[in-house]
Amino acid sequence: MANKIKLSILGISFSQVQAGAYALIFAEENGIRRLPIVIGTPEAQSIAIVMEDIKPPRPLTHDLVRSVFEKLSIELVEVYIYKFEDGAFYSDLLIRHNGEEFHLDSRTSDAVALAIRTNSPIYTTEEIMRNMSIVFDEQNPIIPNESAATSADDNEAELENLSELGLDSLKTRIEDAIRNEDYELAGRLRDEINKRKTNS
């Protein structure tokens, strides 16, 4: 457990750099790092309705799974986001039934949608937080300036030209993204910086 970092869901924002997707933002417990993960629209909606305490007219798929868990006395012990590979996060569901524990592979978005419905904890690794997170100092927050915010088209154009930017410029832009609390854009910039370091 020492290597596990407990996460909480900070919020969901519309992805400005990937059409039809959302950025699920996690915050580490008792820390200043943020972990943005891009998820699809159906999964974002499934998570958002629980966060907003909205009752759908008919059960969604994740509601159905939760009902099955309840009827069969299955406990979702925890969700563990344990790996990032080829642009995707991998998660493990630890469930307990009749005193036995089982591990199930899951998409991270589905795992989170179940965790939020069962009040189960979500964890990740220190390695993922070290390599994929964004640092935001809440002790010295900077209120976003509307004039500094960029539109979706501007962000897309900026990301298309990342390979043309120098490392110092990338670092400056990631600082601006963090100040504006645009963690999803900051995550893309972070990926480009990490790619430069790997290739150097």
Whether 139 is covered by a domain: the verdict is no
Say whether both 29 and 128 belong to one domain: yes
In this structure, the answer to whether residues 34 and 84 fall within a common structural domain is: yes
* CA-based nearest residue to 43, from 67, 70, 68, 23: 23
Tens digit of each residue's pLDDT, the chain (200 residues): 457 999 999 888 776 556 667 888 999 988 888 998 888 888 888 888 888 887 878 888 999 999 999 999 999 999 999 999 888 899 999 999 999 999 999 999 999 999 999 999 999 999 999 888 887 655 543 333 232 233 333 444 444 456 666 777 777 777 776 666 565 666 777 777 777 777 76
Any domain includes 28: yes
Q: Are residues 103 and 190 in the same domain?
A: no
The CATH number linked to 38 is: 3.10.690.10
Residue 145, pLDDT score: 29
pTM: 0.68
47 part of a folded domain: yes
Confidence at residue 122, expressed as pLDDT on a 0 to 100 scale: 97
Query: Is 38 a domain residue?
Result: yes
Looking at the structure, tell me whether residues 128 and 148 fall in a common domain: no
Instruction: Say whether both 172 and 109 belong to one domain.
Output: no
The closest of 133, 131, 136 to 195, measured between CA atoms, is 131
Query: Does one domain contain both 86 and 163?
Result: no
Residues 126 and 151 in one domain: no
In whole angstroms, give the CA distance from residue 40 to residue 22.
6
Domain boundary among 79, 103, 132: 132
Cα(96)–Cα(181) distance, integer angstroms: 37
Residues 91, 43 share a domain? yes
**How many domains does the chain fold into?**
2
What are the DSSP calls for the chain, one per residue? -TTEEEEEEEEEEE-SSSTTEEEEEEEETTSSEEEEEEEEHHHHHHHHHHHTT---SS--HHHHHHHHHHHTT-EEEEEEEEEEETTEEEEEEEEEETTEEEEEEEEHHHHHHHHHHHT--EEEEHHHHHHH-EE--TTS--PPPGGG---HHHHHHHHHTGGGS-HHHHHHHHHHHHHTT-HHHHHHHHHHHHHHHHH-
Using CA atoms, how far apart are residues 153 and 134, in angstroms rounded to an integer? 23
Q: Contact at 8 Å (CB) between 91 and 80?
A: yes
Same structural domain, 33 and 98: yes
Are 19 and 85 found together in one domain? yes
* Residues 124 and 150 reside in one and the same domain: no
75 in a domain, yes or no?
yes
Q: Are 122 and 77 in contact (CB under 8 A)?
A: no
Q: Is residue 22 part of a domain?
A: yes
End residue of a domain, out of 81, 112, 132 = 132
Domain extent at residue 183: 144-199
